[in-house]
């Protein structure tokens, strides 16, 4: 898959179970898009996410702000989307303040749960249509939606279909149809799921991917399997290690060490072999889950590496972006 094909839809929705590194992957993909000349906006949906931590700077607001060259960040808050909607639709700036300053939105969105989602999707549509800014300063080529966790994402994306079913006529019906069209057009929107190679996230990813096809009808692209441990030893090296360690006193390794002026004792050797075994055991669990994932999916899987560094800093995101870009290109 060429990067251009990957970036063809303007809207990329990134989702996955909580704790799988969804935001980090969204940020890495934003860097990939920016490197390929796109003006990108990452939109968090109604939450204080870790995005500002990745790029530095304070919290994101409803107004997009450039967080890194070519990458903008914003937080779509439903209350503010409602205020904007009322202002644009009904020119009611003053009254809209009454709505948003109270718990009103809570009530109405509780009474009509899809409404919050529709307001958020409406804002995304607004961004997609470049209606944001008449000067064109904030006309984005790519909009990356750091979507709610997978369970809620299905409800989130199906909300306009529900509304379109419920309403027969009127402006809201028309607008909700626009959202349905936006989501169901593979040239405009695509979902990427993020997962870990562990029991629960894999099960949820398989379920979600199926439901996205069956219930939402939105296009899905490569699934990102995050935090995959690298393979350390070749089968031949593994064999060598086993042979060397059979020795009561594995002098071959010690000799190789002392040749470069390194002294390692028995405890060191145990630690070296111990961590190799640990890595292998974890890798075996991951491999089992990755097989299960590949078997159950129609989409390709992109493996992103486990990072031994502290994580959650820009250099880590850059590393992931490097890998993602290369892997996407070879799909």
Partner 1 sequence: MSAIGDIVARKEIIVCAGAGGVGKTTTAAAIALRAAVDGKRTAVLTIDPAKRLASSLGLKELSNEPTKVSTRKFTSAGIEPRGELYAMMLDTKSTFDDVVTKYAPTREQADKIIANRFYRNISGTLSGTQEYMAMEKLYELYADGNYDLIVIDTPPTRNALDFLDAPKRMTDFFESRVLRWFLLPYMKAGGGFMRVANVAARTFLSIVKRIVGAEVLDDTAEFFGNLEGMYEGFKQRARDVAALLRSDATTFVVVTSPAEDSVEEARFFAGRLNQEGLHFGALVVNRVHPRLSEGIDVKPRQISKLEAGSDVGRLLAKLLDNHEAFMRIVTREERNLDALARKIPRHRWVRVPYLEQEAVDFSGLLAVSDQLFPA
Contact positions vs partner 1 (CB under 8 A) = 17-19, 47, 50, 86, 90, 92, 95, 98-99, 102-104, 106-108, 110-113, 115, 166-167, 172, 198-200, 203, 232-233, 237, 240-241, 244, 252-253, 255-257, 259-262, 264, 267-268, 270-276, 278-279, 281-282, 285, 308-310, 312
Angle between helices 104-111 and 114-128 (to 10 degrees): 100
Tokens of 42: 């990452």
- In the complex, least distance from residue 236 CB atom to partner 1, rounded to whole angstroms: 8
- In the complex, least distance from residue 129 CB atom to partner 1, rounded to whole angstroms: 20
Question: Closer to partner 1 at the Cβ: 62 or 99?
Answer: 99
- In the complex, least distance from residue 8 CB atom to partner 1, rounded to whole angstroms: 32
Question: Closer to partner 1 at the Cβ: 111 or 187?
Answer: 111
Question: Closer to partner 1 at the Cβ: 92 or 154?
Answer: 92
- In the complex, least distance from residue 39 CB atom to partner 1, rounded to whole angstroms: 30
Q: For residues 189 and 9, is the Cβ–Cβ distance under 8 A?
A: yes
- In the complex, least distance from residue 217 CB atom to partner 1, rounded to whole angstroms: 23
Question: Closer to partner 1 at the Cβ: 63 or 199?
Answer: 199
Question: Closer to partner 1 at the Cβ: 3 or 172?
Answer: 172
- In the complex, least distance from residue 18 CB atom to partner 1, rounded to whole angstroms: 5
Radius of gyration of the chain measured on its C-alpha atoms: 24
Question: Closer to partner 1 at the Cβ: 125 or 140?
Answer: 125
């Amino acid at each position: 898959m060429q990067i251009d094909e990957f970036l063809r839809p303007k809207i990329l929705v990134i989702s996955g179970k909580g704790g799988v590194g969804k935001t980090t992957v969204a940020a890495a993909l934003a860097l990939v898009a920016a490197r390929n000349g796109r003006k990108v906006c990452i939109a968090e949906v109604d939450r204080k996410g870790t995005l500002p931590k990745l790029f530095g700077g304070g919290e994101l607001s409803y107004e997009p702000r450039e967080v890194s060259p070519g990458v903008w960040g914003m937080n779509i808050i439903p209350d503010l989307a409602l205020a904007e909607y009322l202002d644009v639709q009904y020119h009611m700036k003053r009254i809209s303040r009454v709505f948003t300053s109270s718990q009103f939105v809570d009530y109405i969105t509780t009474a009509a749960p899809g409404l919050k989602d529709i307001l958020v999707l409406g804002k995304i549509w607004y961004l997609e249509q470049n209606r944001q800014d008449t000067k064109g300063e904030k006309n984005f080529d790519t909009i990356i939606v750091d979507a709610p966790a997978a369970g809620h994402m299905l409800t989130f994306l199906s909300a306009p279909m529900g509304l379109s079913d419920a309403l027969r006529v009127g402006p809201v019906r028309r607008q909700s149809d626009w959202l349905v069209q936006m989501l169901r057009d593979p040239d405009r929107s695509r979902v990427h799921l993020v997962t870990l190679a562990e029991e629960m996230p894999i099960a949820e990813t398989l379920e979600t991917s199926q439901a996205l096809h069956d219930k939402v009808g939105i296009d899905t692209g490569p699934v990102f399997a995050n935090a995959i441990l690298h393979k350390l030893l070749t089968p031949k090296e593994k064999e060598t290690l086993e042979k060397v360690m059979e020795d009561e006193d594995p002098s071959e390794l010690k000799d190789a060490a002392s040749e470069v002026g390194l002294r390692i004792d028995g405890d060191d050797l145990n630690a070296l072999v111990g961590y190799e075994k640990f890595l292998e055991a974890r890798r075996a669990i991951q491999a089992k889950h990755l097989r299960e994932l590949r078997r159950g999916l129609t989409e390709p899987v992109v493996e992103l590496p486990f990072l031994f560094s502290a994580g959650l800093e820009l250099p880590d995101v850059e590393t992931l972006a490097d890998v993602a870009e290369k892997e996407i290109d070879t799909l």
